[in-house]
Chain A
Amino acid sequence: MARATPLPAAGDTLVRLLGVSKTYAQPDGYDIRVLEDITLDFHPGEFVALLGPSGSGKSTLLRIVTGLQEPSYGTVLYRGRPVTGPNLKAAMVFQSFALYPWLTVAQNVELGLAAKGVPAAVRRERTSRLVELIGLDGYEDAFPKELSGGMRQRVGFARALAVEPELLCMDEPFSALDFLTAENLRSELLDLWLDQKIPTQSILMVTHGIEEAVFMADRIVILSKNPARVVADLSVPLPHPRNRKAPEFTQLVDQVYKVVTGWDETPEARQEEARAEAAGERPRLKPLPSGHLSMLTGLLELVADRGGRDDLYRLGSELLLEVDDLLPVTDTAELFHLAEVQEGDLILTDLGRQFCEAENPERHAIIHAELMHIPIFRLILRVLDSKANRSMVKEFFNDILEEHFSVNDAEAQLRTAIYWGRYADLFHYDPDTETLYLPEPDPEDEASSAPG
């Protein structure tokens, strides 16, 4: 089903991305690339979902499409014209709603019209029509603080639609809402879109929910991580209204799951790795997944109870976890050789079974042994071991990690490393002095390892 989109004639494209890349400059000169050579076309009449793991740069891509950010390389064309600065034909809906709390609902909705210089009377007329369409009538004079999350996002939609955008961009618009509210809002938006009650020509939605993407979109573009590349571009041929229980639906979701869970094994990524190795470059540290160890234990035990193999999509929906929350945990399981992901299934390894049957001390020992193979931990231990006082300030490791990751990521990586290291009793950490240190091995050794 995956197809590489051929580039159609420019006449029927709304947005064209040509080799768009984005790098963030770091103070130390190691730039972090978040988007890598993305070439995509969006057409009028399309509802496209951009799907990718968190931190994959999909929100950045959306901001580049709307002109809120500039690409480092490459071009964005809107109806054949290069985009420079915010594109006023595009409107944005935010995950956090981004309403102005000091303006009433009506004033919030009018904001874009006021910016265009629309006279007050026309503004009021259009706003009241829209407020009714979005189901906000009666709330015109309310302040956002007084509204529930769902109502707030309705205001967000109304504000975006008020300027009658050709392109509606949505950045995870439903993820801050509870399940029922989100579902309700999804179908209402689909109704507006499918019945053409709004003059919007194309919708672009960033999401990490696979089901959401399959439920709403006509086309799903799947992005990888570190940096984001397009790994798949699928069309969703299901007619609306879509039934989540229908076999075609679940089949498609499963298919997307397979692509998504295999996204770090793209041919490009493997090629790059092989190239770097061949060129004898200093190996880059691989990022640690941010999986919580208690969640890891719980998940493994659950799979063990089910015979050591289970479908990830089913596990996710049972545990009410989006793939975004689940993947760091399965990545952690794979890193520790406790389980493997194959064809969208999570399969326990022998070590994984042993881990599940073990008591706490033995579990710690297993993790301890696994950590000894991971470069970051080997590095930390080597440093601590070579110091006479067997301790080292956190900044030192932070500086090392910042050569491999962005400043924020480096901090997160070190946090995970410290968390795991403490769990496995690999080293200790004193938050007061912000020092990592090794516990005193034996009393008689003390003389030789006295602080120097």
Chain B
Amino acid sequence: MEVILRAVELGLIFAILSLGEYITVKVMDSPDLTVDGSFVTGGCVCAMLTLAGMPNIGLAAAFAAGVVCGCMTAFLETKMKIQPLLAGILTMTGLYSINLRVMGGAPNVSLFAAPVPTLLSNPDTQLIVLLGAAGLIGLLLYLFFKTNLGLMLRACGDNENMVKSSSINVDNMKFLGLGLSNGLVALSGALLAQFQNFADVTGGTGMLVLGLAGIIIGEAVLRPKTIGVGLSAAVVGAVLYRLLYTVALQLGFAATDMNLVSAVLVAITISIPVLQRKMKEKRKKNA
């Protein structure tokens, strides 16, 4: 029971990561590799402020830091015309050094010595706080996507040519989308740091795929047609994935193998439609 509860809580933290990635992967239709860096940035910034006795300001600062990371990638992509994937990789690589600087050169920082309790310090209310956070962020995102600005952002990912010819500044939309996305990713990293009571500079490896796994599993379960269901699917998927992950660990998988499990899972899920089509064609030929 204890194990499952912890899995759900972790799942809700990663649900915020999935919600952030939903903006780039699903809405803007271009996966953003900044995530592996900005997730850690969120954790580092929040950890240092938590140690300084400001845990909640730490969460807000982590979000802001994430927004800045996203805007950096957007800057490289739009103003410097660097390919989206490379722009993300460049920011992520640079962030590694910045994250070490933020933590004063230490590769990891423990929060057990934090002077002020965080929102997640009390084990009895952890679940409620995380449920509230994931729910609230999901709801806010949903409402945002129904506003004029949100609609423009969605149209940008849907049909960039049309948007270009309709007096919307596509570059600004990329700043908005990447900024918001990485802000949420960093917030997720910050909550994880407070939850686990430590921040680690290598903690970001595989986060892009992990967030993606949540989105994809959610889609497989809920088959979303609208953006509201899509966002809910990202939350549900992230929690489900964490539960599966926990089961795998209980079955004796080494924790270090889990990145491979995530990658294989995402690869298989994405290839299912292609495999299905190939099977169909084969059957047609044989018939």
Same complex for A and B? Answer: no
